[in-house]
Structure 1
Amino acid sequence: MLILITDWLMQFDVGFSVLGYLTLRTILATLTALLMAILIGPKMILWLQKLQIGQTVRDDGPESHLQKMGTPTMGGVLILAAILTSVLLWADLSNEYVWVTLTIVVGYGVVGFVDDYRKVVRKDAKGLIARWKYLWQSIIALAVAIYLYANATSPEQTALVVPFFKDVMPQLGMFYIVVVYFTVVGSSNAVNLTDGLDGLAIVPTILVAGALAIFAYVTGNINFSEYLHIPYIPQVSELVIICGAIIGAGLGFLWFNAYPAQVFMGDVGSLALGGTLGIIAVLVRQEIVLIILGGIFVIETLSVIIQVGSFKLRGKRVFRMAPIHHHFELKGWPEPKVIVRFWIISLILVLVGLATLKLR
């Protein structure tokens, strides 16, 4: 919105053109989301406490988690509000990629909100029935995938970029829709599964958003994309604003979510953030690299799949508890140690993912 005001102000003084620079707008978007989250956070936590919107804890989980019972949840509303406000202020709202991404943010946020509402307000332990949750996630993802495929204007927008190989970019055709679907839905649920300890999911989310911001910037710049042998997709660099907003909102939320957490994000936050990372990776054509960048999310998801599969096929569990962060807790690792070590692993994986830009 402010970019339109900037265009109007430039007729009086060209100095206002500085507000149109992508880098400056990204910084301002990050700071806007950060300050909004930090300033509104305490009031929102008090409000959630008054409404008695508290976290429920699994009976079969680590005993240390029992003290988390009643901690305010649905803090993801704060994250999404900060992201949306910041993006609407600083992004170019004529850019279709911005609206595609915001569709995922809002759509998946609503699905997560309904799930949380049923769990903590209506006291329905199951929340939104799994098949209904996946159905709505699927409808939103498929709608976005079909829109992107139908409106693709260049072969680069539907090509699969294979990391480490500069000349390997096969055309996906209609299989593009399948790739978009699994990337968005898979990423959404992977972040959701990871959100089990204080600050465990939000820091990797921030790190991955930072890496995707770099991919978006170079993919939308014809000089950088040509130099790095990646597809050039005009206007996709505007997604840097959204990545900056995610980083700012995430850091602001971490202020209250760090151990010991004062608030949890809930499904409203984790589903929306995961889906947003997925759609950004799709738009910058880095679905495979997202698997590396979000390796922690992948590991957490695989641990659940392995645990369930092993129990159904062999009647035995591979881990003491899944997702895998609970396994380490039950082995005696203090929660802060699990969290920080997972953060370190996430940082390493993000750096490896970024290395694919040059190692081709």
Structure 2
Amino acid sequence: MLYYLFQWLQELDFPGAGIFNYISSRALMAVILSLLISTIFGDKFINLLKRKQISETQRDASIDPFNVGKKGVPSMGGVIIIVSILLPCLLIGKLENTYMILMLITTIWLGVLGFLDDYIKIFKKDKEGLQGKFKIIGQVGLGLIVGLTLYLSPDVVIRENIEIKQGGEIVQVVHGQHNIKSTKTTIPFFKNNNLDYADFVGFMGEHAQTAGWVLFVIVTIIVVTAVSNGANLNDGMDGMAAGNSAIIGVALGILAYVSGHINFASYLNIMYIPGSEELVVFICAFIGALIGFLWYNAYPAQVFMGDTGSLTIGGIIAVFAIIIHKELLVPILCGVFFIESLSVILQVSYFKKGKKKGVKQRIFKRTPIHDHFRTTVSQLDTNCTYLITKPASVFHESKITVRFWIVTILLAAIAIITLKIR
């Protein structure tokens, strides 16, 4: 809203009004504003949660080797993150931008889904929360909305790379003069770094492009569901999910900036996505909101984000990556989320396999994998066999959290470097 006010003031030659024309200026404003909102509003909201006794009663010291009791810590802190993202974007974002609209819809959609899950856990005293099938329906529904909007909207276009060669060598990369609809995406580590979904269905002839969009929508649904659930699983220690997501957000912001800047896109030989620069404003609000939330969520946590926050931040990361055509970078960039999810899948599969044979067996001491590192041998089921019981010593959750952050920083750096390593 302020963006449009300053646009009007600029037409009146009001001094300094042109500052809102610069993405960098609005991005910095978004970071500062979201950080202030999350810290100031966060304090008041946490006090409200305490007065209303809105907390997850199942968290206690019995599962922690250091006897850190978390019973009674307020939950549903994801509301702080959501409010801190939405307000700066509404104030200083271009609200007619299709990409910004999609990100706002994603934030609200998954925020409501997570809120319902937390509401059932806390107020209905059902620790299982919202039934899994309804979560999946909500995530699939969002994937459909995002995928179909990117397919149908005339504003969602790219400019393809054109390689200028001399003597068989590439001397320059420029972008075409015309915007086109495309099912291409960036594939890491390969010299010809664009992968076209339509190529997978080339046998369909003249219908291949349409079938390529169908495949793209399916991939969108898978990515949204996988990343939002991965972030949800990662939210098991103080500051874990918020810190990892903020780091991922920084990497995505860099990727969005270069994708929306025609000169940088040409230099890096990646597709230019007109309008995607507005996503930098959104992701800066996202980063600021998470850093502000860490003020209260870092060990020892004064508030948990709950599914209201974890499902939302995972979905935001997924949709953002899809919009800038970097969804194939997600397994690298969100490697921590991927490993957390994989550990649970392997644990459950291995346990079921043993159950059919009449034996109790597990791979890890506990899952998601971060819990493996804070579980002592004395806490294990003596009637169960474990493939991996090392390390024998356990780590404090603050150390585990920081080490996971370090891994995410490394993965984020690798994801960015892939733009040049190919």
Pick the TM interval, shorter chain. Answer: over 0.9
Q: Does 1:257 align with 2:297?
A: yes
Q: Does 1:318 align with 2:363?
A: yes
Shift of 1:132: 1.1
For the structure 1 residues 119 and 65, does the alpha-carbon distance in structure 2 shift closer, same or farther, using more than 3 Å as the test? farther
User: 216, 224, 229: which one pairs with 2:264?
Assistant: 224
Shift of 1:307: 0.6
Structure richer in strand, relative to its length: 2
Once residues 32 and 284 of structure 1 are traced to their aligned partners in structure 2, the CA distance between those partners, rounded to angstroms, is: 25
For the structure 1 residues 236 and 142, does the alpha-carbon distance in structure 2 shift closer, same or farther, using more than 3 Å as the test? same
Shift of 1:219: 0.5
Match of 1:209 in 2: 249
Q: Does 1:336 align with 2:336?
A: no
CA contact (8 A) 1:209 1:246 kept: yes
For the structure 1 residues 116 and 157, does the alpha-carbon distance in structure 2 shift closer, same or farther, using more than 3 Å as the test? farther
User: 208, 216, 224: which one pairs with 1:184?
Assistant: 224
Once residues 191 and 267 of structure 2 are traced to their aligned partners in structure 1, the CA distance between those partners, rounded to angstroms, is: 11
Once residues 68 and 117 of structure 2 are traced to their aligned partners in structure 1, the CA distance between those partners, rounded to angstroms, is: 22
Shift of 1:268: 0.5
How far does the alpha carbon of each residue in 1:279-316 deviate from its partner, in whole angstroms, 9 at most, with x for none? 00001111121221111111111111111111111342
Q: How many residues align?
A: 360
- Select between 145-154 and 59-68 the one with higher mean Cα deviation: 59-68
How far does the alpha carbon of each residue in 1:85-138 deviate from its partner, in whole angstroms, 9 at most, with x for none? 011111111101000111111000000000000001221121111111111121
Shift of 1:228: 0.7
Match of 1:72 in 2: 74
- Aligned pairs for 1:162-177 (under 5 A) are 162-172=187-197, 173=212, 174-177=214-217
Match of 1:198 in 2: 238
Match of 1:149 in 2: 151
Structure ID, larger Rg: 2
Match of 2:184 in 1: 159
- Report the AA paired with residue 2 of structure 1: L
Match of 1:129 in 2: 131
Shift of 1:66: 6.3
For the structure 1 residues 251 and 65, does the alpha-carbon distance in structure 2 shift closer, same or farther, using more than 3 Å as the test? farther
Once residues 157 and 298 of structure 1 are traced to their aligned partners in structure 2, the CA distance between those partners, rounded to angstroms, is: 28
Shift of 1:58: 5.8
Secondary structure of the residue that 1:92 maps to in structure 2?
Answer: coil
| RMSD across aligned positions (CA) | 1.6
Secondary structure of the residue that 2:139 maps to in structure 1?
Answer: helix
- Report the AA paired with residue 123 of structure 2: V
How far does the alpha carbon of each residue in 1:8-45 deviate from its partner, in whole angstroms, 9 at most, with x for none? 11122353112221001000000000001111111111
Secondary structure of the residue that 2:267 maps to in structure 1?
Answer: helix
CA contact (8 A) 2:66 2:396 kept: no
Shift of 1:62: 3.3
CA contact (8 A) 1:197 1:339 kept: yes
Shift of 1:57: 2.8
Shift of 1:237: 1.0
- Aligned pairs for 1:1-360 (under 5 A) are 1-10=1-10, 11-13=12-14, 15-57=16-58, 61-62=63-64, 64=66, 67-151=69-153, 152-154=156-158, 157-172=182-197, 173=212, 174-315=214-355, 316-331=361-376, 332-360=394-422
Once residues 87 and 45 of structure 1 are traced to their aligned partners in structure 2, the CA distance between those partners, rounded to angstroms, is: 23
- Report the AA paired with residue 143 of structure 1: I
Shift of 1:150: 2.2
Higher RCO (C-alpha 8 Å, min separation 6): 1
CA contact (8 A) 2:59 2:69 kept: no
- Report the AA paired with residue 375 of structure 2: L
CA contact (8 A) 1:166 1:230 kept: no
Structure richer in helix, relative to its length: 1
Shift of 1:168: 3.6
- Report the AA paired with residue 19 of structure 1: F
Match of 2:205 in 1: none
Once residues 278 and 141 of structure 2 are traced to their aligned partners in structure 1, the CA distance between those partners, rounded to angstroms, is: 26
CA contact (8 A) 2:65 2:374 kept: no
- Select between 159-168 and 258-267 the one with higher mean Cα deviation: 159-168
- Report the AA paired with residue 245 of structure 1: A
The gaps in structure 2 that reach 5 residues or longer are 159-179, 198-211, 356-360, 377-393
Using the aligned pairs only, state the percent identity: 41
Normalised by the size of structure 2, how large is the TM-score? 0.82
Once residues 278 and 56 of structure 1 are traced to their aligned partners in structure 2, the CA distance between those partners, rounded to angstroms, is: 30
